[in-house]
Structure 1
Amino acid sequence: MGRKRDKDSEDLTENIDDDEQYVRQSKKRKNTDDYDDGAEKSQISNKKQILPSMIKNKDKRSAVHAKLKQQKKLEKAKRAKARDFAEKRALDLGEEPPARSIPRTIENTREFDETVCEPDDELFAGNDADEFNSILGRERTPKILITTCRFNSTRGPAFISELISVIPNAHYYKRGTYDLKKIVEYAKKKDFTSLIVVHTNRREPDALLVMALPDGPTAHFKISNLILRKDIKNHGRPTTHMPELVLNNFTTRLGHRIARLIQSIFPQDPNFRGRRVATFHNQRDFIFFRHHRYIFEDKDAKKNSSEGEKNTETLSNVKARLQECGPRFTLKLRSLQHGTFDSKGGEYEWVHKPEMDTSRRRFFL
């Protein structure tokens, strides 16, 4: 009996030892699992970036935003410095500098348009037969009649006075109660080549009707972002010299026609001594107008003359300086009509409709 009891006690102690070893191993495994989970969570928390929008406190949020903005600015400056150093080193070694990356914009990713004019397009061959050939061929001198809508406002005449200073040979006539068709007939008899009607709404010019005489076409533009000369900081006063005309990015057939309509308003013999430039820049179907005077300055020559040096052989550093004369505004084409203005029976070449705005990368000019 004693031997049997000793054997049972030995078996019991062995089972207890096995159970204790199993518990130790399970605890150890649990501790290692907890450590792994904690390490993974710490890595995830390190990877997760705290955005300024996640901070509820306004002062802390603005401070974090300013810090991130400053870091981006420093990184951008560092990249620009490295790029300039690489270009300078390549030029010193006589190698070709690395090509600069072209930024992806809405303008250079526009949708394909079949009406974009190529250099050998037949449209350019038909320029000699359109309505603007007599003016652009210098057979006629542009003569512009400018008037307003029937209910005019205070900023309308101010805008018209600045238009007259921009467009040579432009004349202003009060609208009164005359119908627009009668004004067109009067302008034809007086040999005006174009008619411009400034429409105002809520004391602000909001539309422009440009009509080529005597046979059209008629373009209707919407005006936005109008800034008069007096509101432009450090503005200049334009002279009476004939301005140069710059037309940018009118690539389609419709854009080519609008560009020739605008070109027919200005004389074709600019006086370069006046250094006046009127610019119509088309971008995303918005036509931005700017009026500048420019001057070329030789910085090295100015420095040498101030120091009293003579016959110095230094490379000239010529820079152009611009002074805006105003006004400043933006045009958006709404319609292009055949012939002169006719609101009832007129035929339209092109009309902007809301259904056309299906994509941000679809342009018509």
Structure 2
Amino acid sequence: MVRRNKDSASNDDNERPMRRKPFRKSTNEEEESPAQVPTGDLQIRNKMVRQLLYAKLKRSKSKAKLKERKARQQSDEPKQEPQTIEKKRKRDETWVDENDQETLDDISNDELNNYFTRQPDAPEPKLLLTSQEGFPSSFTNKFLKEVARILPNTTYFQRRHHPIKRIIKKMNKLGYTDLVVVNEDHGKPSTLFISHLPEGPTMKFRLTSARLSKQLRSNRGKPCAKLTIRPEIILNNFNTRIGIRVGRLLAALFPHDPQYKARHLITFHNQRDFIFFRHHMYLFKNEKKVALQELGPRFTLKLKSIQRGTFDALYGEYEWTQKPKHKMDPERTKFVL
């Protein structure tokens, strides 16, 4: 049996930890006052308490912003326009005016001049759409078939193990004007190549945010139908020399003289060097009201390189390539397109 001295008992009482006070839930009056919420989260060791206090602080700030917004709406002050990066864009030396003679000379001498001037020897656009070497995934295969349905005069070819150079030689004999190749990464489309035949150019795009027509809310799960007419083409915000070159290549994928009977519309909208592809149809409700229904598919492109001539990965001459991140301009208000 162990005996304990009085001195040891007193030491044990001194070494006992102090009992913490229980956390008291605040009332509604305390929640509305942001001054009572402590901001020094580093002094609070309890994670649950920190989360509750942080949520209380966010609620108080959102309430204050809501009161300020309502006060601005009730007042007669003019509304301020939002300052976006697109509105702060700086015009550099590549920006093209409407009557720039140097740009007009370049356009009249490029590889797409026969198409836009409607020369008698210029063939009508005829496209071949294929994938990367091998067998594409299920999603990429469905995406390619939908793109082939909405592009007029387009044939979908399962590439498998055929090299690109052999495909281009065969296309020149059959009268094709453009080759479109879609590569994938982790089962989703990631890269898009467009090569204009027989003289080029060839452009490489990064492809993101690909969605099928069934995945669009406006289409209500309907599959993409075959487009049997010539759609109307809209190109927005292609203002630089490179932008005009990209826009001309995209426009050359479609034939002239759109048919307005079925009212289909395809848009390439450039914003901050991202090209958004959308496919809509006009819905005339009455003589004054018109709506747009998105049919799909939809995707986003970003230019990576421009190569002269047809596709040549080893010995191709590049007109423009995207710089690495450490060599790019740090200013966010300068754009290429």
The Cα of 1:64 is off from its aligned counterpart by 1.5
Q: Which amino acid aligns with 1:112?
A: R
Residue of 246, 264, 275 corresponding to 2:252: 264
Could you tell me how far 1:76 is from its partner in structure 2? 4.6
CA distance in 2: counterparts of 1:74 and 1:51, whole angstroms: 24
Residue 62 (structure 1) shift: 4.3
Letter in 1 for 2:63: K
Percentage of identical aligned residues: 39
Q: Which has the higher helix share?
A: 1
1:135 and 1:52 map into 2 onto residues whose CA distance is: 68
Residue 60 (structure 2) aligned to one of 55, 61, 64 = 64
Question: After superposition, where does 1:1-365 map in structure 2 within 5 Å?
Answer: 50=35, 54=39, 56=50, 57-78=53-74, 82=76, 102-122=81-101, 123-138=103-118, 139-151=122-134, 152-235=136-219, 237=224, 239-298=227-286, 318-354=288-324, 355-365=327-337
Flag the 1:195–1:70 CA change in 2: closer, same or farther, 3 A: same
CA distance in structure 2 between the partners assigned to 1:146 and 1:77 by the alignment: 52
In 1, the alpha carbon distance for the partners of 2:124 and 2:133 equals 29
Cα distance 1:168–1:60, how it changes in 2: closer, same or farther (>3 A)? same
Shift of 1:58: 4.4
Q: Which amino acid aligns with 1:338?
A: R
Number of residue-to-residue matches in the alignment = 283
> SS where residue 242 of structure 2 aligns?
helix
> Could you say if the C-alpha distance between residues 294 and 72 of structure 1 is closer, same or farther in structure 2, counting changes exceeding 3 Å?
farther
Alpha-carbon displacement from aligned partner over 1:169-198 (angstroms, at most 9, x marks no partner): 100111121111111111111111100001
Which secondary structure does the structure 1 equivalent of 2:289 belong to?
strand
Q: Distance in 2 between matches of 1:76 and 1:199?
A: 50
Task: Give the secondary-structure state (helix, strand or coil) at the position aligned to 2:285.
Answer: strand
Q: Which runs of 5+ in 2 are unaligned?
A: 1-33, 42-49
Contact 1:223 1:332 (8 Å CA) reproduced: yes
Q: What TM-score, normalized by structure 1, do the two folds share?
A: 0.72
Shift of residue 112 of structure 1? Answer: 3.1
Contact 1:337-1:349 within 8 A present in 2 as well: yes
CA deviations 1:36-84 (Å, max 9, x no partner) are xxxxxxxxxxxxx7598938424523432441343244235335xx36x
Contact 1:242–1:274 (Cα < 8 Å) also in 2:
no
Q: CA offsets, 1:237-276, max 9 Å, x none?
A: 5542211000000000000000000000011111111111
> AA paired with 1:170?
T
The Cα shift of 1:150 comes to 1.0
Unaligned runs of 5+ residues in structure 1 are: 1-48, 84-97, 299-315
Give the SS at the match of 1:74: helix
Separation in 2, partners of 1:343, 1:327: 29
Give 2:310's aligned amino acid. T
Shift of 1:155: 1.4
Question: Is the 1:225–1:329 Cα contact (8 Å) retained in structure 2?
Answer: yes
Partner secondary structure for residue 195 of structure 1: strand
TM-score (norm 2): 0.78
Cα distance between partner residues in 2 of 1:283 and 1:51: 44
Partners of 1:327 and 1:51 in 2: how far apart? 52
Give the drift of 1:348: 0.3
* RMSD (CA atoms): 2.4
Counterpart AA for 2:331: S
